[in-house]
Amino acid sequence: MNTLKGVSVPDSLMQYVSELAKRQGITADQFVASAIAEKVSALDGLDYLKERAKRGSREKFRRALSKVPNVEPAEEDKFEQTKRCSA
């Protein structure tokens, strides 16, 4: 296992990390390692999606959408309506 040396973290942030870790029943080191892993995973996922998007085709997308029936979703599948800002 490697140790991050020379990483400076503001006292207020470290205090908050310690509190959050304590609530979860883990050490601050475990919390930080988990946070790093989550960030790396998110960035990897974003890179993957960007690569997939490059291979995508609007025509294939439209063909796939044309196969979806134009009906109201089931009640349990509906989202709450929110107001959108018009730009």
pLDDT digits (tens, 9 = 90+) for 15-44: 999 999 999 999 999 999 999 999 999 999
Assess contact for 29 and 37: CB atoms under 8 A.
Answer: no
The owner of tokens 């959408």 is: 65
Q: What is the pLDDT of residues 48-86, one digit of tens each?
A: 999 999 999 999 999 999 999 999 989 999 988 776 665
Q: pTM score, two decimals? A: 0.57
